[in-house]
Amino acid sequence: LKPCKMWISLFRQKRFVKMLLYMSCSPTKIQLRLAGEKRKHNEGRVEVFYEEEWGTVCDDDFTIHAAQVVCRELGYSEAVSWSPSSKYGKGEGRIWFDNVHCTGNEKSLAQCESNGIGVSDCKHTEDVGVVCSDKRIPGFKFSLNIQVEDVRIRPILSSYRKRNPVTEGYVEVKDGGKWKQICDDEWTHKNSRVICGMFGFPGDKRYNTRVYKMFARRRKPTYWDYSINCTGNEAHLSSCKLGHTLAIKANGTCEQGTPVVVSCVPGRAFAPTPMAGYRKQPLVRLRGGAVVGEGRVEVLKNGEWGTICDDNWNLVAATVVCRELGFGSAKEALSGGQLGQGMGPVHMNEVKCSGFEKSVTECPFNMDKDSEGCSHEEDAGVRCNVPAMGFQRRLRLSGGRNHFEGRVEVLMERNGSLVWGTVCGEGWGTMEAMVFCRQLGLGFASHAFQETWNWPGAVNADSVVMSGVRCAGTEMSLSHCLHHGEYLSCPKGGGRFAAGVSCSETAPDLVLNPQVVEQTTYLEDRPMFMLQCAYEENCLGSTFSSTPANSYRRLLRFSSQIHNNGQSDFRPKASRETWVWHDCHRHYHSMEVFTHYDLLSNNGTKVAEGHKASFCLEDSECDEGIEKRYECANFGEQGITVGCWDTYRHDIDCQWVDITDVKPGDYIFQIVINPNYEVAESDYTNNIVKCRCRYDGHRIWMYNCHIGGSFSAETEDTFPGLINNQVTHR
């Protein structure tokens, strides 16, 4: 069909016919949404709501110009791409548009040329999808593509107004710039589950309906014109189907109901009071995320943590993970190892969740393929909706060159009033800075400063209001860390001696390869005359000075291969001019303490330790396609590039533990990377490797090497016998 205006031009002399054509050619009213198996809210299968029925759009003749029209009609600034052949799964119902031709300037998809609405010879295998920009059009009028900022839970009862987070109240939708309530005539528990998920809560519960009915009679609500029909597994309200237009009486009340109220259940970490009950061993965890509620998904299987392959990974599966961990629904299902690559096995592939599972481990997956064809470059991740706790309002950065750096200033209660002040710089370190950056939503800490001479900050906030801060690094707020109470202690005072931070959206993540340790371990009886360098670097046991010159020291030698699986390069904290030259190694060392080597008894007592004085960091090898950037020779730049690893070979001086004085027995061998947290990383939990070790006085066996701080019950008493990695003196 040709555009209506072309038909009208043929009948300019016939006013009646012209009027009829204008009436029949008036813009068709449609609504759009993005649906299907998607990974974020601004992408999906294009679906059209027309004549009380949802349908799809065929990919025939579809172009980026049509995608632009779709995205702008949904309130996004532009289209990024479009996809044919039902990339986001096959839709249902009618195919409303086929052979769509848009110029890109139309205000609605209905204004583009097509075969006519409902005229199509396509199948749902040809359903088209689009990816829109994250940016929203400012002041965009309401559409069915509801965003989080278009919905709120407004607390009515005074007991809920004072709470953080807000868990109960009216559900309100912004329409035409005004907040409106939803009539509860056709409201279901499934709708409440979706609303609670959007606001960071894993579930909902019953509430006292009588109180809200009384309140509704006192005040006249303003109702939204539509009903909503969710199945309960949607990650977002925009994925729910729109119900029919409700019949709202002239007095603005529902025919049979009252305004919708939801009462949400917060996760354990966000509960206003500590939640009682036994905490089971978690089967799922997040690693490598910059803020609370995001990370690479790892699952526990057969006593070993592994990852999930991103094949078919979508918002439904991601939402199961988020709810399982005490968050709300998923904002985004991440793919391609975006939050760093994991180690160990890939436990699950082609995960297919219904959305109602209690754990992602209950979801069906391709058991035949398992991890076949998947590498850690395809590790799946999530970004979850988390409750608004108001933490960000209680701290700020001041005086920095950009919003990622500056002096730390916090809002604290002093003498009965809230005042802004500084944090004492004494003892301020990487862990404290990590908590601060996360609380402010700025990612990771790249540096922690105990003096802030270059950042004057706010003059009226120079006084110290917080001191003695000690964080584990996992706290959601600086106020949750240990700190002095009413009586502060900060000898140097605040001002220029206050704490400061530099934050970053990315961070490195060092991981030691446990198999390399296990496979390269051996004993060496090294003559004293060959240990001069080791003596100078204090790499030998305490009884070295009493050892005869013609004798030897017994050394437990091994190689360590340290990978950077993070999102940014690992760089030493010390500036280049402070690096130390070592004659024995003929290069500069940039970190005084980079790794600890310890031999422990089974009860954790230290029996022997490595005394490697300092380290040089370089790229020994890299993954395919990645170039080496760092080397120790010729006073080169030092560090470990993302996707590369630094190998300390077993034959390097001090790459050992001196066990000359150790008695035969069973021990635990432990290696800890970056033990003093001098350099910020996205995940410190994978910085430790432990191995079982048996020494009979002549030979040593290293086995069950793994990342993490404990051994599973299955391997507690296991001894593998004389296997390939048994070694003797060399």
Mean pLDDT of 84-103: 93
> How confident is the model over 264-284, as a mean pLDDT?
77
pLDDT in tens, 516-559: 999 999 999 988 888 877 776 777 776 666 677 778 889 999 99
**Average pLDDT of 372-394?**
89
Question: Where residue 16 falls among pLDDT bands split at 50, 70, 90?
Answer: very low
Q: What is the mean pLDDT of residues 51-66?
A: 92
CA torsion angle for 319, 322, 327, 328 (degrees, to 10)? 0
Domain 284-385 has what CATH class?
alpha beta
Section 130-134 average pLDDT? 92
CB 473 within 8 A of CB 461: no
The model's confidence at residue 423, banded by pLDDT at 50, 70 and 90, is very high
Tokens of 237: 């309200």
| Phi, psi at 322, each rounded to 5° | -60, -45
Are 563 and 511 within 8 A, CB to CB?
A: yes
- The structure's pTM equals 0.78
Angle 96-99-100 from CA coordinates, rounded to 5°:
75
User: Count of H helices and E strands in the chain?
Assistant: 10, 39
Q: Give me the chain's average pLDDT, please.
A: 84
> How much is the pLDDT for 371?
55
CATH superfamily, domain at 31-132 = SRCR-like domain (3.10.250.10)
Mean pLDDT, to the nearest integer, of 582-611?
A: 82
Beta carbons within 8 Å of 504's beta carbon, 6+ residues apart:
404, 437, 442, 443, 444, 445, 446, 568, 680
- Are 101 and 90 in contact, with CB atoms under 8 Å apart? no
Could you give the count of Cα atoms lying within 13 Å of 520 in the half-sphere of its Cβ?
Answer: 18
pLDDT digits (tens, 9 = 90+) for 458-473: 888 889 999 999 999 8
The verdict on whether omega for the bond into residue 165 sits within 30 degrees of 0, i.e. cis, is yes
pLDDT value of residue 637: 87
The answer regarding whether domain 150-266 maps to CATH 3.10.250.10 reads yes
Q: Which residues of 361-400 are buried (b: 16+ CB within 10 A; e: fewer)?
A: bebebbeeebbeebebebbbbbbbbbbebebeebbbbbbb
The band of 318, judged by pLDDT with boundaries at 50, 70 and 90, is: very high
For residue 512, the cross-strand partners are 562
pLDDT 10s digits, 190-211? 999 999 999 999 999 988 888 8
Please give the average per-residue pLDDT across 365-383, as a whole number: 80
**Closest to 179 in 3D by CA, of 218, 206, 152:** 152
Q: How confident is the model at residue 18 (pLDDT cuts 50, 70, 90)?
A: very low
End-to-end CA distance of the chain: 87
Tell me the C-alpha distance between 344 and 305, whole Å.
7
| Region 391-504: CATH code | 3.10.250.10
Dist. CA 446–CA 570, nearest whole Å: 10
Average pLDDT over residues 50-62: 91
Contact by Cβ (8 Å): 606, 598: yes
CATH 3.10.250.10 in the chain, residue ranges:
31-132, 150-266, 284-385, 391-504
Mean pLDDT of 13-35: 57
Distance CA 707, CA 562 (A): 12
Position 612 scores a pLDDT of 64
Beta bridge partners of 54: 49
Which positions ≥6 away from 509 have C-beta within 8 Å?
Answer: 288, 340, 564, 565, 566, 567, 681, 682, 683, 686
pLDDT digits (tens, 9 = 90+) for 277-307: 556 778 999 999 988 999 999 999 988 889 9
Quickly state the pLDDT bin for 247 (edges 50, 70, 90): low
Q: Does the pLDDT of residue 23 top 50, yes or no? A: no
Distance from C-alpha of 200 to C-alpha of 391, rounded to nearest angstrom: 15
pLDDT at 369: 53
Question: Identity (one letter) of the amino acid at 279?
Answer: R
- Phi then psi for 527, rounded to 5 degrees? -60, 150
Residue pLDDT, tens place only, 566-583: 999 998 887 777 777 776
Here the tokens at position 193 are 């589950």
**Separation between Cα atoms, residue 333 and residue 331, nearest integer Å:** 7
pLDDT of residue 191: 93
Among 691, 694, 704, 692, smallest CA distance to 663 is for 694
The angle, 0 to 180 degrees and rounded to 10, between the axes of the packed helices 189-198 and 315-324 is 80
Residue 174 DSSP label = E
DSSP state of 545: G
pLDDT of 218 over the 80 cut:
no
Alpha-helix residue ranges (DSSP H) falling in 291-408: 315-324
